[in-house]
């Protein structure tokens, strides 16, 4: 009886060769897959970096553009001060010698036992905006020859409440005084110690201004003749 071993060996060899072939294929496939994955990851990474790099400058530029002032000007909306014709913050300016003109007119008649003489103090707003007088106004008269001490008066008693003067308008106050000398002779009856051809008028919180005394009709050459040591200034009113 003959034993058939050769075909068996051949079959075993074929199987072994097939196994080796399959193993080699798997190794090659795995290597290719790994390389492909690595290549894909490498390709994806630069793409992501490029996108991030491109996005960052764009975002920074957009932010800078939004933050930059339009036209290079600084906005003052809500931060600046408002002003009006009435003065800063809408407050009416004070009447002073800078925005008013002053006139002083002697009395049209002499004092009597019944009533004093009444000169007129007139304040005209010469500016283009309203102004106000708040507080006492003072008038000082000095003798032209310096033979008597100056006399003064204000309206702190008569009334010094706020008085608004529109642009171009005027207010007046009576200045009550005695111009009759009861101690002298008849010829000197109307000759008082203080004979002033000019007076100094000081509005509240103002340095004051000196003006010539006018006659009662407004013509030059008036005299404020005061007998006594004082006179009274009345409250201002529009007339």
Domain count, the chain: 1
The CATH number linked to 209 is 2.60.40.10
CA distance 181 to 151: 16
What's the mean pLDDT in 177-181?
94
CA distance 134 to 82: 24
Nearest to 94 by CA among 226, 238, 204, 215: 204
CA distance 238 to 121: 12
CB 201 within 8 A of CB 187: no
CA distance 147 to 196: 11
| pLDDT over threshold 80, residue 2 | no
| pLDDT over threshold 60, residue 145 | yes
**102 within domain boundaries:** yes
pLDDT tens sequence across 90-128: 688 999 999 999 999 999 999 998 999 999 999 999 999
**227 within domain boundaries:** yes
pTM confidence score: 0.62
Q: Which domain holds residue 206?
A: 94-233
């Amino acid at each position: 009886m003959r034993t058939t071993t050769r075909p068996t060996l051949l079959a075993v060899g074929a199987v072994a060769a097939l196994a080796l072939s399959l193993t080699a294929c798997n190794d090659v496939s795995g290597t290719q897959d790994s390389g492909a994955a690595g290549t894909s990851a490498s390709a994806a990474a630069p793409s992501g970096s490029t996108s991030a790099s491109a996005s960052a400058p764009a975002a920074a530029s957009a932010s800078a553009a939004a933050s930059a002032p339009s036209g290079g000007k600084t906005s003052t909306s809500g931060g600046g001060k408002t002003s009006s014709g009435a003065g800063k913050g809408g407050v009416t300016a004070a009447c002073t010698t800078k925005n008013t003109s002053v006139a002083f007119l002697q009395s049209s008649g002499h004092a009597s036992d019944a009533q004093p003489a009444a000169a007129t103090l007139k304040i005209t707003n010469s500016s283009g905006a309203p102004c106000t007088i708040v507080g006492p106004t003072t008038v000082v008269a000095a003798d032209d020859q310096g033979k008597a001490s100056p006399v003064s008066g204000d309206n702190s008693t008569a009334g010094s409440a706020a008085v608004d003067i529109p642009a171009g308008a005027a207010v007046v106050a009576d200045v009550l005084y005695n111009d009759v000398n009861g101690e002298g002779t008849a010829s000197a009856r109307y000759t008082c110690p203080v004979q002033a051809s000019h007076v100094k008028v000081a509005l509240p919180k103002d340095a004051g201004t000196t003006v010539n005394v006018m006659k009662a009709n407004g013509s030059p050459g008036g005299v404020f003749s005061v007998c006594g040591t004082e006179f009274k200034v009345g409250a201002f009113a529009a007339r």
